[in-house]
Amino acid sequence: MVVIAVVVLVVIIVLVVVKVVLVVVVEVVVVLVDVVVVVVVVVVVVVVVVVVEVEVEVVVVVVVVVVVVVVVVVVVEIVIVVIAAIIEVEVVKVVLVVVVVVEVVLVVVVVVVVVVVVVVVVVVVVVVVVVVVVVSSGSSSSSSSSSSSSSSSSSSSSSSSSSVSSSRSSSSSGSGSSSSSSSSSSSSSSSSRSSSSSSRVVVVSSV
């Protein structure tokens, strides 16, 4: 009888140990998932710090709070699961369900925060690119307008110089025509003088 009792006790202990081991393995997987979530949050926060240049103190506080909450939830869950595996009490199972629900809610909150941060980063990058493109296009258009105004001023100066030169040439040609007309008038006066002298000679000879 004693042997049978010992065998039954050993079997019960083995079953409890196996159950606890299985529960611990499951909880290790859960812990790994939580660690992955924490790592993703930290990476996203670092990217936000680099791109958006948020205050470092705020980022450190957020990371510490997330890590502490996840660690506390995981530890409490492991303890409760081990206790529930050893002594199967309904209250412990209810508490375990509550802890699991809280953990799921925390994971959802972390995912939402990550999505919001990614959207903010994308919006900031798009705004910066648009501003750079607008500023560069405005500077190029102003430079082209200044070059066109300088070319128009140079063409107007060249046209004014050509008009000045043409007026000079016309004035010089006018002076030449006036000199030729004066020379023709002087020649006509000399011919009239010669004709009058010849008539005087004829009168004297007849007398």
Of the two residues 204 and 82, the one the predictor is more confident about is 82
Determine, yes or no, domain membership for 169.
Answer: no
> Long-range contacts made by residues 200-207, C-beta under 8 angstroms, separation at least 24?
none
37-87 tens-digit pLDDT:
777 777 776 776 666 665 666 666 677 777 777 777 777 777 766 666 666
Q: What is the pLDDT of residue 49?
A: 66
Determine, yes or no, domain membership for 155.
Answer: no
Domain that holds residue 32: 19-138
Number of domains, the chain? 1
Query: Which residue type, as a one-letter code, is found at position 77?
Result: E
Residue whose token pair is 């506390």: 72
170-199 tens-digit pLDDT:
434 344 434 333 333 344 444 444 444 444
Determine, yes or no, domain membership for 188.
Answer: no
Sign of the torsion angle spanned by Cα atoms 80, 85, 90, 93: positive
Determine, yes or no, domain membership for 6.
Answer: no
Determine, yes or no, domain membership for 117.
Answer: yes
Determine, yes or no, domain membership for 145.
Answer: no
Determine, yes or no, domain membership for 180.
Answer: no
Determine, yes or no, domain membership for 118.
Answer: yes
